[in-house]
Amino acid sequence: MQTHDDITEMISASTINARLDELAAEIDAEFAGEDVIIICVLRGAMMFMTDMVRRLNFPMEIDFLQLKSYEETTSTGEITLLKDVGDISGKHVLVFEDIVDTGNTLQFILQHLAAKNPARLKTCALLDNPARRQIAGIAPDFTGFAIPNKFVVGYGLDYNEKYRNLSYIATINGGK
């Protein structure tokens, strides 16, 4: 059995599941009758996106975008595109992101994808940390949870590639 004395649960698995049901209803209403391209921002949003697409009730394709912007617990301020999406021109697009904090990554994603001429571009983040926002006016269209300014792990989010497999969101003890 794996123990995690170094973390403290912040949002339980049952709370996450209940919120995902509500979020899916909001997104279904937004995209009713549309064919949508779902874009998952790897790696952190993978679990979130997977659980969400099983709840959504419209036709979809899935693609992936991979970026790098963090070293350990700190945003580097530089965003590197590691994997790009296919053609989204004229399509309805919904991007799943794990967390929006400074807003730099979300701004990069929006500018990058908007240049590909989608018919509509919406974003959905599991977590939003507005206290860290550096880019005014940047926020996800759909949000699972607003959180305080703490470094979080679990449910896809990691610290040095650890803790992604937790079914809940946690903070790291010891001030990380």
pLDDT reported for residue 173: 83
Which residue numbers are catalytic? Answer: 101
pLDDT reported for residue 161: 87
How would you classify residue 39: left for phi > 0, otherwise alpha for psi between -120 and 50, otherwise beta? beta
What's the pTM value of the predicted model, to 2 decimals?
A: 0.91
As a residue count, the chain comes to 176
What tens digit of pLDDT does each residue of 70-81 get?
A: 665 555 668 889
Domains of the chain by residue range:
15-148
Domain 15-148: give its CATH architecture.
Answer: 3-Layer(aba) Sandwich (3.40)
Query: Can you spell out the DSSP letters for 1-12?
Result: ----TTEEEEE-
H helix and E strand count, the chain: 3, 9
Q: Span 117-135, mean pLDDT?
A: 95
d(C-alpha 127, C-alpha 145), whole Å: 5
What tens digit of pLDDT does each residue of 85-121 get?
A: 999 999 999 999 999 999 999 999 999 999 999 999 9
Burial class (CB in 10 A: 0-12, 13-18, 19+), 131: exposed
Q: Note if the bond before 133 is cis, omega within 30 degrees.
A: no
Q: Which segments of 12-133 does DSSP mark as H helices, in order?
A: 13-31, 46-53, 104-114
